[in-house]
Structure 1
């Protein structure tokens, strides 16, 4: 008996439980965060907070016309101070574990985001795989949108990164990019879609990708339009859903292909003082629309279309590279890292002035396109046989 009591007394201090446990009803769950720089130089942080509700009758379990989130904000000389003030405006403890969306306002991005990235990377709450965006205008406005098809704007933004056409950039990507050879990154540039429906209010809409923001160091120096941004996706091997349209010579309509497979290979080369980057792109795809009179079952027609699709993609990629080299002089496509890996001695000589060397790199692009499926029908649909061009 004494032995048993001794064991119990020894174990009691080890069974203290979760002394710092916080119940769910005491947490304010953050779904998205917006960070803006104000005119007086102060930082404003806005958070989208989830509203927990008890299950009610009905299919959705929510009252008609109700919203799932609300926005609270805090101001300070820096982000850490702003978050401290924000906490005083929320009766529950802020919980960052579910926050996968961070939106930076355009004014803040142009002045530099390194301090904000440093705080988020050090903070135990935000996760490294959180998605980062740059907004046209103030970031707070994005959080206040009410998307028609989603419960709140954070869900819409997450789906843009995971499923749609724009590039995705995480907190980890930016942290690594700022420490990399080129010290530059790119992020999705978003804006509020203006609804043409008179019945809807201005905030009852969705955020959409409007291009790509380009950073040189910690500051945003410009944007790529949607066509240039698609070229960047090919260069970063991040194409998820895309289409390529061409207008064959002598035809009035277009033919559209959806790529099903794409690979890119970078081959850096140094000969004397000439630095070159050879790009090899290989794409395969299916024809999804034929507006011409061409018969896509004809082998000669397919061979010509393969060449034209290759030329179209080559021009798109070349346009993006030219803008990055000549206008922005910013290596967000990581040429520097590839030269560093293959030619460490030569890289050491130019690493301190890569911004000057990058625009001088000669780029050779080779594209191989292959149409795998021209469709279940060869000739154009609903066209008389005698009008089809073989």
Structure 2
């Protein structure tokens, strides 16, 4: 019995020793990666020239991302990489080969696709999706501008590039709305929806709005939208010529309507804009009524305006913008208010029949109704006018 007890004690000691050895051998983080050994790509740009994909990678210095006291570090906080390949992934891997550090896409925030690469947009999105490190919540833009110029933009007060429209388009949209910022997920979802026109925001550089010490600054802005119908690019419409999209955008936050009556001028801020489409039928053909309800307030005026004058003129200006935008879209075979998609979703049987007849909406098929309601009293009005 003493021998057995001794053997058990030896075996127990041996097991503990083996366990300790295993802990010493396997302990620690074998896959640990030091931050100084990794370069994180924050934005990717894709161009397509001479049957080759050209990939641009933008990386941002951690020194301008982290919150810190005092002045920002000297020099540009942006590094740009560029390489080409027969496929999009080949170009990315070629870029990795030329890097001094390990390149990571784990923090990819934005993707910019040049209009020359629109013919390959499905392959571009598919290749990005095959990388486990990328996410479909990354922002996506189209552009006509050289991507290298976009990625070397200037920043106000030399702050972090993460506050520019490339990474934070909601800042500009909240101040003066246009089309809703788009992610890879919403791009793919919209492209797969029948009878829907995808509106991809266009990123460009402001030519000469800002300067510092008499040096022109190149700031980013959204200057229009690229239109896709049935996964194919059908054209580009500038922001100036597509103001009607402001009032139907799901991402609307705020916009301004200028009013001019003879020599009198005023500006009205629109705080809310909600639109809906109603379908009526005449001789088995659809007739659409697009109703837009606005609320807002007067912010400046050169002379007196009555409430009725404000209401009627805001409704007139907005309706004209919406009608003009609709016509611009039809000229490019693009239904900018997705009227046909409304049929697909809520009148599917009739839509299938119309598709066989190759039906498309015309200007006569749409009636636009705009209603504006004043919600705030302007500070320009005297106390006597408020009673």
- Normalised to the residue count of structure 1, the TM-score between the two structures is 0.82
Q: CA deviation at 1:162?
A: 4.1
Aligned residue number for residue 261 of structure 1: 272
Match of 2:208 among 156, 173, 195: 195
Give the 5 Å matches for 1:38-77: 38=49, 40-53=50-63, 59-60=70-71, 62-63=73-74, 66-77=75-86
The structure-2 alpha-carbon separation of the partners of 1:129 and 1:270, relative to structure 1 and needing over 3 Å to count, comes to farther
Counterpart check, 1:80 vs 2:89: yes
1:311 equivalenced with 2:316 (yes/no): yes
* Equivalent residues in 2 for 1:231-270, closer than 5 Å: 231-248=244-261, 251-270=262-281
- Is 1:32–1:154's contact at 8 Å kept on the other side of the alignment? no
* 2:127 aligns with one of 100, 111, 119: 119
**Corresponding position: 1:26 with 2:29:** no
Q: Gaps spanning 5+ residues in structure 2: where?
A: 1-8
**What's the offset of the Cα at 1:150?**
4.8
Quote the residue 2:4 is aligned against. Answer: none
Matches within 5 A, 1:350-361: 350-351=354-355, 356-359=359-362
Please list the CA deviations of residues 159-216 of structure 1 after superposition, one character each: whole Å capped at 9, or x if unmatched: 33444334211111111111111253112222222237485556x4211222222223
Q: List aligned pairs for 1:44-193, cutoff 5 A.
A: 44-53=54-63, 59-60=70-71, 62-63=73-74, 66-109=75-118, 111-151=119-159, 153=161, 155-157=163-165, 158-164=167-173, 165-167=177-179, 168-182=181-195, 184-193=197-206
Gaps of 5+ in 1: 295-300
The answer for the alignment partner of 2:238 in structure 1 is: 225
| Higher CA-based Rg | 2
Question: CA separation of 1:19/1:358 partners in 2, compared to 1, >3 Å: closer, same or farther?
Answer: farther
TM-superposed deviation, 1:319? 1.2
Report the CA distance shift for 1:6/1:266 in structure 2 as closer, same or farther (over 3 A).
farther
Partner SS, residue 268 of structure 2: strand
Aligned partners of 1:125, 1:229: CA distance in 2, in Å? Answer: 36
C-alpha spacing 1:18/1:194, structure 2 compared with 1 (3 Å): same
2:6 aligned partner: none
Judged with a 3 Å threshold, the aligned counterparts in structure 2 of structure 1 residues 176 and 7 are, in CA distance, closer, same or farther, namely farther
Alpha-carbon displacement from aligned partner over 1:296-327 (angstroms, at most 9, x marks no partner) = xxxxx212321221121111111111221x21
CA displacement, residues 228-254 of structure 1 (integer Å, 9 cap, x when unaligned): 433113222322231011223xx3122
1:280 and 2:291 correspond: yes
Give the distance between the partners of 2:214 and 2:94, measured in 1 at CA: 34
The alignment yields a C-alpha RMSD, in angstroms, of 3.3
The separation in 2 between residues aligned to 1:217 and 1:195, in whole angstroms, is: 37
Change (3 A) 1:379 1:182: same
Query: Does the CA-based 8 Å contact 1:187-1:214 persist in structure 2?
Result: yes
